[in-house]
Amino acid sequence: MTHESSSRRAAGILLHPTSLPGNAGIGELGEEALRFVRFLRRADQRLWQVLPLVPTGPDGSPYSSSSAFAGNPLLVSTGRLVEEGLLEEGPEPTPEDAPVDYPRLISSRRELLYRAFTRWRPDDNFLRFREENAFWLEDHALYEALREAHGGRPWTRWEPALRDRRPEALKRARRELAEEIRYHQFVQHRFQRDWDRVRSAANTAGVQIVGDLPIFVSHDSADVWADRHLFRLDDRGEPAAIAGVPPDYFSETGQLWGNPLYDWERMEREGYRWWVLRMKRALTLYDAVRVDHFRGFEAGWEVPPGEKTAKNGRWAPGPGRKLFRRLEEELGELPVIAEDLGEITPEVEELRAGLGFPGMKVLQFAFSSDAANPHLPHNHTGNWVVYTGTHDNDTTAGWWHDASPAERSFARRYLGREFVSVWDFVRLAYASPADRAIVPMQDLLSLGSEARMNDPGNPEGNWRWRMSREALSEELAGRLRDLASTYSR
């Protein structure tokens, strides 16, 4: 999905699996996911973009995870567990499109999965999975078991011997928590089985999966605990500086993400081993990878600990081309999409272009200035991916409702229409010279701000949206099919 392989035009849909319908309280990697794949095929869609499939915390954010390698237990198909006799019945039914209630769901789903675990017996497939994924699975399962044993407290507040990973303490923990460790390995095996089935069905239907790789990892994660030396931390394991972005379109005070920063010099000395393993894992899950916050590889915004906003930060150099050249040496040509939104400098653009990665164009950003705006379709070229909006934007209907008079006037002139609908922007994306056009499911359904996936800077009510079963109608499939045919996608 980069270099020569980027020349073929295609269209797709952005829909995180948690937003699939069903009575389990959250979208799962079961029948509804396979049904969505069948819809993509009928609609001549060749791309399905998802958000990170990693475990989430109580707020549901897939960008704040206890592991950069593991799968989300909430996505495990309870339907398949019932079919295979590991559960007598699934979760208590909820309305099929009810918003996800993460705190309640995390507790109830853990109980359900543990019940299935007690009936399960390991087989050769599990043993092979455990062996092939030992490079991340062992630390993840141990970390999760230890965190539960410590009442959910972060690893920096565990007893020093475990916090600092002293060999004797780890050996004792593996012995005492053996059953809990195996439970977490079981959950990851189930996730992998379910996802492999969905991805295989997608690929058979001619659909590529576009995944998402956040640049940073959470401080309270197996990743930082297991490889503490690769991060900029103090003697107690606390961040010496934290990641974010300066004030921009999304926030007047910037975004203070709170992630620890990498020790890029140490990573380079180790041949970027950790990043090689991370990208290797991503490429076992996805056909292509959207790398979030690509500009951070050129320079990252670092904020001193204790700051309340991201205003008082500074740009610190990243690894640049050296990292990606190392990844290509180990893994071959990288099917990467660079998320190059925000404050982009000539140096960031040079890095992206030099690597041959396609960047992103967002139509909601296109009408805020004049005809030179790089997000306007007439300024697109082939090696780009065009979106109506991203998961961090309002829906296009919500954006249009709140757009300034100047934006509305320019959009009407550009479209040649006085009465503008969401589908005018969908058509604009399909007509773009950009090789790939991806539209969030909410925009295809012309939904308003109530269906927004994430509102950066606002910690409440994100990641909860789900669609109804009726959304995947034959009428919608036909409309998308016509657009794909008309614009050779």
Read off the pLDDT band of 8 (50, 70, 90). Answer: confident
Read off the pLDDT band of 344 (50, 70, 90). Answer: confident
Q: Quick check: is 166 in a domain?
A: no
What letter would DSSP give residue 80? H
Read off the pLDDT band of 257 (50, 70, 90). Answer: confident
Q: Quick check: is 461 in a domain?
A: yes
pLDDT tens string 61-100: 999 999 999 999 999 999 999 999 999 999 999 999 999 9
Q: Kindly tell me if the per-residue pLDDT of 5 is higher than 70.
A: no
CATH number at residue 306: 3.20.20.80
Read off the pLDDT band of 6 (50, 70, 90). Answer: very low
**Angstrom distance (rounded) from CA 424 to CA 446:** 11
- Residue 163: per-residue pLDDT: 97
Tokens, residue 257 = 């993400």
By mean pLDDT, which of 153-162, 216-225, 291-300, 455-464 is the weakest?
455-464
Read off the pLDDT band of 2 (50, 70, 90). Answer: very low
Q: Quick check: is 344 in a domain?
A: yes
- Please, which residues have CB within 8 angstroms of residue 329's CB and are 6 or more apart in sequence? none
Beta strands in 38-84 (DSSP E): 47-49
Q: What is the mean pLDDT of residues 429-446?
A: 98
Q: Kindly tell me if the per-residue pLDDT of 365 is higher than 50.
A: yes
Q: Calculate what percentage of the chain has a pLDDT beyond 70.
A: 98
Q: Quick check: is 157 in a domain?
A: no
Q: Count structural domains, the chain.
A: 1
Q: Kindly tell me if the per-residue pLDDT of 364 is higher than 70.
A: yes
Q: Which residues are catalytic?
A: 292, 339, 392
- Residue 4: per-residue pLDDT: 39
Q: Which domain holds residue 453?
A: 3-66+207-486
Q: Quick check: is 162 in a domain?
A: no
Read off the pLDDT band of 254 (50, 70, 90). Answer: confident
- Residue 356: per-residue pLDDT: 96
Q: Kindly tell me if the per-residue pLDDT of 277 is higher than 60.
A: yes
Q: Quick check: is 144 in a domain?
A: no
Computed over every residue of the chain, the mean pLDDT equals 95
Q: Quick check: is 180 in a domain?
A: no
- Residue 275: per-residue pLDDT: 98
How far is the CA of 293 from the CAs of 159, 286, 393, in angstroms?
A: 35, 18, 15
- In terms of Cα–Cα distance, which of 215, 66, 99 is closest to 453? 99
Q: What is the mean pLDDT of residues 278-284?
A: 97
Q: Quick check: is 432 in a domain?
A: yes
**Angstrom distance (rounded) from CA 321 to CA 123:** 43
- Residue 459: per-residue pLDDT: 84
